[in-house]
Amino acid sequence: MIWPFRKRPPPIRDRWDLSAPLFSINGRDTFTVGDACQGIQVFGSTGSGKSSAVVATIIRSYLSAGFGGLLLTTKPTDRDDYTRWCQETGRFDDLVIFSPTSDLRFNPIDAELRRQDAGAGLSENIVALLENITNIGERNQGQGGGQEDASYWKRTNRQLTRNSVELLTMATGKLSVPDLYRLVISAPTSRDQLRSEEWKNSSFCFQCLVEAERKPKSPQQQTDFELVADFFLIEFANLSDKTRSVVVSTFTSTLDVLNRGTIRELLGTTTNIRPEAALDGKLILIDLPIKVFGEVGMAVQILWKYCFQLAMERRDIRENSRPVFILSDESHLVAVAGSDQKFQSTARSSRTATVYSTQSISNYLTALGDKGDAAVYSLLGNLQCQVFTQQTDVKTNTYASELIGRTRQYLMNANNSYQTPNFFELFPDTQGQLSTGVSETYEYEVQPSVFATLRKGGPPHFQVDGIMYQGGRQFSQTGGPWTPVTFSQQF
């Protein structure tokens, strides 16, 4: 029997409910899973404590809550720091290390071909992935002139990439950077070459055409094959030498970064770890710190970040609601204009908690070149929580003050005036006048100079001060979207 006045038990809350608390903000407010999924940007000068206190507090709370994640590395010590955090939060068994000395491998273009969903195998998605590789090398370069010419070469390169991907897939059923390279450099360069038995015997492109033609095909596949064959045997072979050389050079230079040494071994062979492993709680640490591996480390980590973003955008949170995170300390080194802000605009719906940390806005602007202003402020506009620790960069301090905003403030003033006494008078009148007033003005609620005075941690107290801003929130201490906050360096 159900008693009508019996109190109903509270509903069982999902472990990763968006309102679930992660950590306390000064003992008054809480930072929740939902807050995390709106993204965090941490700013602070070198030695400000942004990594040892702020980032450490945030990531440790994510680990304790069972998030999966991708951890990118910049400094040689990052692996040890992140490993320690995993050990101290009971997540060491979930940690997997992707490095030249491990057995883990990830072929991003073949993984894109074989993924298990409705969009699997679409050549246009693979073309977009390869284009992102181009952005790695051009991320901090100017646009230059000749936009119409640039647009033509971009379209032509996409056409070559698209047809190469489709031919290789039809012929072999798999994709790799070395095979794409072999296919393009062995493509016919003239109509006379098409009649050459020597070329036919040595050309990997011709062998792929023969194999693709031999395999049984559906009507749609037959149409696609005819388009690919016409491209290589007619259109490509009849291009002028100058045009073809530019197109081929653009294509091979795009693949070049993935076709050598360490990167070819890590990203160009097989796949036994995928970004989707984070949905099962795995913590994927990319142990190619940029300060050690340079451009190679940067390229690998940007590709991993991009593929991780794509995988999370495709997830169905109704089947698996586990939040995941992306950690990038020194985030300006792996920022890519276009893809990062595009992903961040919908990151909350995929329950992806982005944590970026860098010294200043100036770092972002320098890294992204003439694309910087629009790309940086677009990205920051989609990172709802921003933490500012001790800072000496004027642009960042001014940005923080502008972000927090101005309020109506009243300034009091007083003025005393006295008449000059006449010393020839027996009893001079030296009575003065006092005037007071109040003026109304709109001033920064937090002045830019404040950020230079924040505590940086270290002995004896190991306390790091900051200003936290979160759009749309009213913090207990200030009643507005910002609050002073203190993080500890001791755990």
- pLDDT tens by residue, 3-45: 444 555 444 457 789 999 999 998 899 999 999 999 999 999 9
* pLDDT value at 148 more than 70: no
Average pLDDT over residues 346-373: 91
In a 13 Å sphere around the CA of 445, the CA atoms on its Cβ side amount to 17
* pLDDT value at 373 more than 90: no
| Close Cβ partners of 140 (under 8 Å, ≥ 6 residues apart) | 366, 367, 368, 369
| CA distance linking residue 294 with residue 285, whole number of Å | 17
Average pLDDT over residues 377-389: 96
Q: What pLDDT score was predicted for residue 360?
A: 97
Q: What pLDDT score was predicted for residue 416?
A: 64
Q: What pLDDT score was predicted for residue 434?
A: 64
* Residue closest to 15 by CA, chosen among 29, 33, 37: 33
Interhelix angle for 123-138 vs 241-256, to 10°?
A: 80
| CA distance linking residue 66 with residue 61, whole number of Å | 9
Band the pLDDT of 430: cuts 50, 70, 90. low
* pLDDT value at 135 more than 50: yes
Residue whose structure tokens are 């450490």: 56
In a 13 Å sphere around the CA of 193, the CA atoms on its Cβ side amount to 17
The alpha carbon torsion through 122, 127, 130, 131 (nearest 10 deg) reads -140
Q: Give the residue, 257 or 133, on which the prediction is more confident.
A: 257
| CA distance linking residue 490 with residue 394, whole number of Å | 30
| CA distance linking residue 22 with residue 31, whole number of Å | 6
* Start-end of CATH 3.40.50.300 domains in the chain: 21-104+273-405+447-488
Q: What pLDDT score was predicted for residue 337?
A: 83
3-state secondary structure at position 421? coil
Band the pLDDT of 137: cuts 50, 70, 90. low
* pLDDT value at 1 more than 90: no
* Residue closest to 291 by CA, chosen among 81, 75, 78, 100: 75
DSSP state of 252: H
User: Which segment, 120-134, 194-208, 336-350, is predicted with the most confidence on average?
Assistant: 194-208
| CA distance linking residue 259 with residue 185, whole number of Å | 14
Q: What is the mean pLDDT of the chain?
A: 88
Average pLDDT over residues 272-298: 96
Average pLDDT over residues 386-400: 97
Q: Give the pLDDT confidence of 165-224 residue by residue, as tens digits.
A: 999 999 999 988 899 999 999 999 999 999 999 999 999 999 999 999 999 999 999 999
Measured between alpha carbons, how far is residue 352 from residues 3, 39, 91, 358 in Å?
A: 43, 8, 19, 19
| Helix, strand, coil percentages in the chain from 3-state DSSP, rounded to 5 | 50, 15, 35
Whole-model pTM: value is: 0.86
Residue 283 φ then ψ, to 5°: -115, 105
3-state secondary structure at position 351? coil
At 223, list the tokens. Answer: 């149409």
150 residue type, one letter = A
Band the pLDDT of 2: cuts 50, 70, 90. very low
Yes or no: domain 21-104+273-405+447-488 corresponds to CATH 3.40.50.300: yes
63 residue type, one letter = L
| CA distance linking residue 259 with residue 267, whole number of Å | 9
| Close Cβ partners of 351 (under 8 Å, ≥ 6 residues apart) | 16, 33, 37, 312, 315, 317, 321, 322, 323, 324
* pLDDT value at 405 more than 60: yes
> What DSSP line would sit under 37-103, residue for residue?
TT-EEEE--TTSSIIIIIIHHHHHHHHHTT-EEEEE--STTHHHHHHHHHHHTT-GGGEEEESTTSS
Q: How far is CA 77 from the centre of its chain?
A: 21
Share of the chain above pLDDT 70, in %: 86
Helix (H) or strand (E) holding 138, with range, is helix 123-138
Band the pLDDT of 114: cuts 50, 70, 90. confident
Contact predicate 404/391, CB 8 Å:
no
